[in-house]
Amino acid sequence: MALSGMRGLSVFISDIRNCQNKEQERLRVDKELGNIRTRFKNEKGLTPYEKKKYVWKMLYIYMLGYDVDFGHMEAVSLISAPKYPEKQVGYIVTSCLLNENYDFLRMAINTVRNDIIGRNETFQCLALTMVGNIGGKEFAESLAPDVQKLLISSSCRPLVRKKAALCLLRLYRKNPDVVNVDGWSDRMSQLLDERDLGVLTSVMSLFVALVSNHTEAYWNCLPKCVKILERLARNQDILQEYTYYGIPSPWLQVKTMRALQYFPTVEDPSTRRALFEVLQRILMGTDVVKNVNKNNASHAVLFEALALVMHLDAEKEMMSQCVALLGKFIAVREPNIRYLGLENMTRMLLVTDVQDIIKRHQAQIITSLKDPDISIRRRALDLLYGMCDVTNAKDIVEELLQYLSTADFAMREELALKAAILAEKFAPDLSWYVDVILQLIDKAGDFVSDDIWYRVVQFVTNNEDLQPYAAAKAREYLDKPALHETMVKVSAYILGEYSHLLARRPSCSPKEIFAIINEKLPTVSMPTVAILLSTYAKILMHTQPPDPELQEQIWAIFKKYESYIDVEIQQRAVEYFALSRKGAALMDVLAEMPKFPERQSALLKKAEDAEVDTAEQSAIKLRSQQQTSNALVVTDQRPVNGSLPVNQLGLVRMPSQNMEASSHDQGLTKENGTVSTVDPASTQSADILGDLLGPLAIEGPPAAAVSAEQNMVPGLEATPDAAGALALATVGDQSNSVQPIVNIAERFHALCLKDSGVLYEDPYIQIGIKAEWRAHHGRLVLFLGNKNTSPLMSVRALILPPTHLKMELSLVPETIPPRAQVQCPLEVMNLRASRDVAVLDFSYKFGTAMASVKLRLPAVLNKFLQPISLPAEEFFLQWKALSGPPLKLQEVVRGVKPMSLPEMANLFASLHLGVTPALDTNPNNLVACTTFYSESTRAMLCLIRVETDPSDRTQLRITIASGDPTLTFELKEFIKEYLIMMPASTPAAAAAAPAPAAAPLQPQSPITPAGYNDPGAMLAGLL
Amino acid sequence: MGIRFILLVNKQGQTRLAQYYEYLTLEERRALEGEIVRKCLARTEQQCSFVEHRNYKIVYRRYASLFFLVGVDNDENELAILEFIHLLVETMDRHFGNVCELDIMFHLEKAHFMLEEMVVNGCIVETSKTNILAPIQLMDRAS
């Protein structure tokens, strides 16, 4: 019996429940809708009770999945009913049925506002909840101030304030301007002192949204979050109502730890200590218990703590504790924990230094790849994908290939793509890569996207050593029965280009190759026919002297397709037929494909696109952005100059017109003096066929095509000068051709404050650094990563050390193989204090492009500092002992970048100066101690005192004392640089600019990669 | 965002309660409910409680004939949501006394009132059962 006293509603629900089938249900629903519609039409006769009843029926019908396209007005009108039961129904049903785009909703704004600012708490709650769920922009503009007022009001009860917090969150998302960030950080900090856990839970959600957009503005809230965690973890002052199976609100604990993950780091030592104490307690103190709910709740907290520890880049010991825990989890029987273990281990991959420990679990993870649960299999696949590197690529990829044959269809495409990417990224040798891709096509052709086979063709084309191998493999596959069409495509393409390299092997004569490929012709689709036609033309061209019989066979096929319905095929047939009668000229037109320009792998791009993009920045995403991995990352690569495929197409299709157009373009660019500004967008334009379109369509290197057509195109005569001049300009203007894609100065400064990250990156190379410091010794490792499929040559790295540093760089190999990363350790020893900076003079050759760059190395003064904290007596004793210059220097610094004391304390902490609070009785002063290490001074104590003026933050007085006059002076100047302006303007910028290449370059021959990237230069080489 | 939707579905796949925190058209809802119900109901007890669907996750739990399905963002803490489902069930239990599918069916409005007190805008707002049930009890007493 329905208790709510709406008999009609219960009867209706019973009726629906008794329906035997969907059809009956629909009839019953239609009848009811008709009934409601008529009742609403003569609204005068409706009592509020009846209205309420019908509106619930509408909601019920809507929930069942039927369209309810009327009666919205009635639902909204209940909002203004004077009595609670009707009003409540109005608000709830409105927020279920409508969304922010409905016009009547706007009409209700005034009523809603009156409820919000009225005195009735229950009305306030209803209104806040509805706005919180569906409020739009207009609501944000007209209600934000009222809602804010309620949230911070001390006279408001918690039940209203908790709703106000989430309502404000909605309004903030609809219009961020309604929350003024500057003013809010203090309010937020006060709100986080809240005692009521309901309010605190809501406020924490609001806080997460605010801090995810403006971390810097909310530094002051960080200690508050730690306090909340302490309060919960120690179970202090928590109402019984808020403990769940003995655990103080697991949801608030989780949310608070999530909020903390938006702060890049916790600088303040005492806050950090407190936080790590809590985290340690969670890590150690979470046991497996019998009660499922308790177990889940405590592990919810544990997993969030793991995520936070990873994010904070804790001490090594704690990290290995985390990996150990995760290792345990991925082996348990409980599927939820196993799933989460795998998921979190994948996140852990972002942390430096633990990859090796994770690798120890490889066998276990591979077992999970065969778990009966697809959710777990997916996690295992992701983890294997993430942990793959050069050392284990072979094992992992082969495991994936094996799994491919049995994997469910839902996963095959993803699996195929991932295997292809890993094979490409970490191939120990390229022939293995070719093997993997061919196997992939063979086993799961339906799931291998075109991008995958385009990519293998590119690799083969760009690596001569690989061509005979690939051709032989392709030939082998053709013998297999029931070949997948993609395999026909790739085999035909490769054999067309390179089958002549197999000439002396058994059953590899042009005739035999043609015959076996031609067997497939009747069964393949049109795009494949087009490829086969090109292959035939190529085979003809490679058969010298011509074999009349073969020629006849192929010509017959061309003839047959001359009147084919598909234009592409028809055109190819006609053109190839005509060309192949030209005799020797055919050689030029159909010569081997030139190398492809280096560019981002379409596969990797696809993988990136596939990553989910949610509107709000998630903590994980932020984390991965902050994380500067040393792993080799292939980023978007612009072709060095100009655009190849587009022009290629133009050259063949409409020779004269396009030649002029393109040379004209080049002329223009030359005038601007910046060759590299030719818009590369067109290169990467929306060619559906992706990387291969140009080449596939034209079947010949542009250079050869030009020379072949040259005589026929009178318009060309005008171009040599322009193009020639351009080529010279390109050469002379080398520095333009390789541009860093990161801000070098910024990178340097970032690395001064942390120990690992990317120092330099351009389209070809990425240089990463990882450093460890111990007293006056340091060990830096340079990671030189070649991002391309061709080697980097003449690599040279010279260290220009300042006099105070002794530096020794291990041997840097002259060549970095394609896609490889080499590590070069660099030993550093500090002799004495100085602010001079070491420079790395780095150069390499890519094709004919020479790149040379001078990079400052982050082996700076603060790296040799170690913060300490001294007890007061000790400090004052030392302070007094070091009296006056030159051991103690004092200076009034003006033009200081205004910052609050906590900000300054953070800055000091990142410079390795240990701020000691409460040593100085004046709250506007800051006292710090640190130890400096160098060979001449050994460990030497430095004392720092900063006196600030709260009324003028642009000036302060700094006093530095140490037992070494040079150290005192250098440290003072060093700190000043950071105080006056944040590092961006420090001197020595000169060293950052990439120097133009010194090596004189010969005029380019058309076969060099640079030539291909620049049609102008290519022409110049020809003419 | 956090929680995107909360669905209660019985063994036959009939929706018993649906609350969305992001707007979907009716067609989208129908499609989504069909897909995830098919996915989740086919799973066994030995499988985990999380299912990846499109670009988010479903955290689900079964109580007798009723499935509780909660759609959350990928980075949400899954176990916390799993226990939040249990908190919802316990809250319903406290109110109805040994809650069953019929209670929820015939008291759709009460179920909505409870959810309303527990989640706003996809965020958890209250986890104390006493506080969640206070307005409902107030109303019951008034009528």
Does any domain span residue B47?
yes
List CB contacts (< 8 A) between A372 and chain B: 46-47
Q: A724 versus B30: which is more confidently predicted?
A: B30
Q: Do B52 and A378 touch (CB under 8 A)?
A: yes
Radius of gyration of chain A (CA): 35
A862-991+1007-1022: what CATH class?
Answer: alpha beta
A114 C-beta neighbours (distance < 10 Å), count: 12
> Cα(A786)–Cα(A796) distance, rounded to whole angstroms?
14
Q: Do B113 and A375 touch (CB under 8 A)?
A: no
List CB contacts (< 8 A) between A335 and chain B: 46-49
Question: A159 to chain B nearest CA, in Å?
Answer: 8
> Cα(A647)–Cα(A597) distance, rounded to whole angstroms?
13
Q: A540 versus A991: which is more confidently predicted?
A: A540
A246 annotated binding-site participant: no
A224 annotated binding-site participant: no
Half-sphere exposure of A692 (CA within 13 A, CB side): 21
The pLDDT value recorded for residue A5 is 62
On whether the CB atoms of residues A557 and A533 are closer than 8 A, the answer is yes
Q: What is the mean pLDDT of the segment spanning B62-88?
A: 95
pLDDT bucket at A603, cuts 50 / 70 / 90: low
**A170 → chain B, closest CA residue:** B121
Q: Do B49 and A62 touch (CB under 8 A)?
A: no
Question: B65 to chain A nearest CA, in Å?
Answer: 15
Question: A837 to chain B nearest CA, in Å?
Answer: 42
User: What is the residue whose two structure tokens read 């103080």?
Assistant: A248
> Which one of B79, B129, B136 makes the best mutation probe of the A interface by having the most chain A beta carbons within 10 Å?
B79
Report whether pLDDT(A910) > 90.
no
Per-residue pLDDT of A561-572, as tens digits, reads: 998 889 999 999
User: What is the residue whose two structure tokens read 């002549």?
Assistant: A500
List CB contacts (< 8 A) between B140 and chain A: 3
pLDDT above 70 covers what percent of chain A? 81
Report whether pLDDT(A3) > 90.
no
**B2 → chain A, closest CA residue:** A205
> Cα(A383)–Cα(A377) distance, rounded to whole angstroms?
10
**Nearest to A449, CA basis, from A413, A485, A411, A487:** A413
Residue type present at position A208: V
Per-residue pLDDT of A132-151, as tens digits, reads: 999 988 899 899 999 999 99
Burial A581-594 (b: 16+ CB within 10 A, else e): eeeeebebbbbbbb
pLDDT above 90 covers what percent of chain A? 36
List CB contacts (< 8 A) between B75 and chain A: 618-620
DSSP string of A305-367? HHHHHHHHT--HHHHHHHHHHHHHHTTSS-HHHHHHHHHHHHHHTTSTT-HHHHHTTHHHHHH
Judged by average pLDDT, the poorest of A9-13, A274-278, A569-573, A895-899 is A895-899
Does any domain span residue B21?
yes
Domain ranges of chain A: 464-596, 702-859, 862-991+1007-1022
A477 annotated binding-site participant: no
List CB contacts (< 8 A) between B19 and chain A: 96
A990 C-beta neighbours (distance < 10 Å), count: 7
Domain total of chain B:
1
Report whether pLDDT(B77) > 60.
yes
Q: What is the mean pLDDT of the segment spanning A255-267?
A: 93
Q: Do B86 and A293 touch (CB under 8 A)?
A: yes
Report whether pLDDT(A665) > 60.
no
Question: B50 to chain A nearest CA, in Å?
Answer: 7
Burial class of residue A84 (count of CB atoms within 10 Å of its CB; 0-12, 13-18, 19+): middle
Judged by average pLDDT, the poorest of A704-718, A797-811, B7-21 is A704-718
Q: Do A251 and B84 touch (CB under 8 A)?
A: yes
Question: B64 to chain A nearest CA, in Å?
Answer: 16
Q: What is the mean pLDDT of the segment spanning B75-100?
A: 95
Q: What is the mean pLDDT of the segment spanning A855-880?
A: 87
Per-residue pLDDT of A765-810, as tens digits, reads: 889 888 888 888 888 888 888 887 778 888 888 888 888 898 888 8
Pairing of strands B66-73, B56-63: antiparallel
| CA A865 and chain centroid, separation | 34
On whether the CB atoms of residues A959 and A929 are closer than 8 A, the answer is no
Q: What is the mean pLDDT of the segment spanning A277-291?
A: 91
**Average pLDDT of chain A, as a whole number:** 80
The pLDDT value recorded for residue A1006 is 36
Question: A129 to chain B nearest CA, in Å?
Answer: 6
Q: What are phi and psi of B13, to 5 degrees?
A: 85, 15
pLDDT bucket at A1017, cuts 50 / 70 / 90: very low
Q: CA distances (Å), A423 to each of A191, A219, A353, in order?
A: 52, 44, 23
Judged by average pLDDT, the poorest of A778-792, B43-57, B113-127 is A778-792
DSSP element (H, E) containing A927: strand A925-934
**A347 → chain B, closest CA residue:** B75
B55 C-beta neighbours (distance < 10 Å), count: 12
Q: A329 versus A603: which is more confidently predicted?
A: A329
pLDDT bucket at A601, cuts 50 / 70 / 90: low
**Nearest to B17, CA basis, from B121, B109, B129, B131:** B109
Does any domain span residue B142?
no
| CA A246 and chain centroid, separation | 39
A898 C-beta neighbours (distance < 10 Å), count: 10
> Cα(A296)–Cα(B92) distance, rounded to whole angstroms?
20
**B79 → chain A, closest CA residue:** A300
Report whether pLDDT(A513) > 70.
yes
Q: Do A614 and B1 touch (CB under 8 A)?
A: yes
Q: Do B123 and A4 touch (CB under 8 A)?
A: no
Query: What fold is seen in the domain A702-859?
Result: Immunoglobulin-like (2.60.40)
Does any domain span residue B48?
yes
The count of CB pairs under 8 A between chains A and B is: 177
Of B73, B82, B138, nearest to A614 by CB-CB distance is: B73
Q: Do A2 and B107 touch (CB under 8 A)?
A: yes
DSSP element (H, E) containing B41: helix B26-41
On whether the CB atoms of residues A642 and A726 are closer than 8 A, the answer is no
**Residue A161 tokens, joined:** 């304030």
Per-residue pLDDT of A176-193, as tens digits, reads: 888 776 678 889 999 999
A333 annotated binding-site participant: no
A49 annotated binding-site participant: yes
Half-sphere exposure of A148 (CA within 13 A, CB side): 16
Residue A230, helix vs strand vs coil = helix
Per-residue pLDDT of A305-362, as tens digits, reads: 999 998 887 778 888 889 899 999 999 999 999 999 999 999 888 876 788 888 999 9
Question: A203 to chain B nearest CA, in Å?
Answer: 9
Range of the domain at B40: 3-136
**Residue A94 tokens, joined:** 């409105």
Q: Do B139 and A85 touch (CB under 8 A)?
A: yes
Does any domain span residue B42?
yes
**A12 → chain B, closest CA residue:** B106
List CB contacts (< 8 A) between B73 and chain A: 614, 618
Q: What are phi and psi of A263, to 5 degrees?
A: -85, 130
A609 C-beta neighbours (distance < 10 Å), count: 8
The stretches of A42-157 forming alpha helices (DSSP H) are 48-63, 72-78, 84-97, 103-107, 109-117, 121-134, 137-152
Per-residue pLDDT of A20-68, as tens digits, reads: 888 999 999 999 999 999 888 876 778 888 888 899 999 999 999 999 8
**B112 → chain A, closest CA residue:** A92
**Residue B72 tokens, joined:** 């959350």
| Whether complex ipTM tops 0.85 | yes
Radius of gyration of chain B (CA): 15
Q: Do A335 and B48 touch (CB under 8 A)?
A: yes
Of B108, B116, B140, nearest to A60 by CB-CB distance is: B108
**Average pLDDT of chain B, as a whole number:** 92
Q: What is the mean pLDDT of the segment spanning A72-88?
A: 89
The pLDDT value recorded for residue A606 is 62
> For position B64, which CATH number holds?
3.30.450.60
Per-residue pLDDT of A929-983, as tens digits, reads: 999 999 888 889 999 999 888 888 888 899 999 988 889 999 998 988 888 865 4
Q: Do A293 and B110 touch (CB under 8 A)?
A: no
List CB contacts (< 8 A) between B124 and chain A: 201, 205, 251, 255
Report whether pLDDT(A598) > 80.
no
Report whether pLDDT(A735) > 60.
no
Question: B90 to chain A nearest CA, in Å?
Answer: 11
> Cα(A401)–Cα(A382) distance, rounded to whole angstroms?
15
Does any domain span residue B14?
yes
